Amino acid sequence: MSEAARVFDLAEVTKRELNQTLHDAADGESFEVINPRGAHAVACGVTADIEVVVRGSVGYYCAGMHQQGSVRVEGNASTGLAENIMSGKVHITGNATMSAGATGCGGLLVVGGNAGARCGISMKGVDIVVGGNVGHMSAFMAQAGNLVVCGDAAGDLGDSIYEAQIFVRGDVESLGADCVEKEMRSEHRELLTRLLGAAAPVTRGVFAEEFRRFGSARRLYNFAVDDVAALESTARGEQGNASQ
């Protein structure tokens, strides 16, 4: 953090004033936020190449719609951290609750601790690195991007996944529909090594060779003709019930 950083004390100024200042900021500026006290929607929609450091834990949707620069939270975050991140970097030193990085289209989200349920839900190109564990149904309907889990993954990992990739260092409780373990080739290890490097120091002492890779079996992409009979039977049953 630059010595010239502007300090915003959320015990004295409004969150609206903070976010408006960040929206109006010029590239290269630095900001420090103190006394966030679990406030929601802190540092949302940053569009300039600026640096924001939040000294404390935040509530819902911190750094949502992030587009440029970096936001660092020294604490924990509640639901929707970095939701719909487009580019840039968001780094939280503590834990994140549900839906961290949801619908993210680009950029990098780093969670130093654990992430709760549905981490990376419907991700569309974001890279997410979690230093600890992730909760159930993480990467649900993930379409593109990479989820890196340095700890364990809870149940239904990657349910209904499309073309995103999941890398897990620890144990996986269960895989969701259409998610399977895949071969870890050299290009995947190279990609993972870059992501681990970008997430340092969270990933200190963690190496690509320790991970397994998971992705889509692509069985849900197309309608299977074998299902026609079951659908026709269901339709006949519904018509019969309607006539009664």
Q: Where are the domains of the chain?
A: 1-75, 95-243
Q: pLDDT for 83-117, tens place per residue?
A: 999 999 999 999 999 999 999 999 999 999 999 99
pLDDT tops 50 at residue 147:
yes
Quick one: pLDDT at residue 227?
62
Structure tokens at 71: 């936001």
pTM of the model: 0.90
pLDDT tops 90 at residue 221:
no
pLDDT tops 80 at residue 5:
yes
% of the chain residues with pLDDT over 90: 88
pLDDT tops 80 at residue 195:
yes
Mean pLDDT of the chain: 93
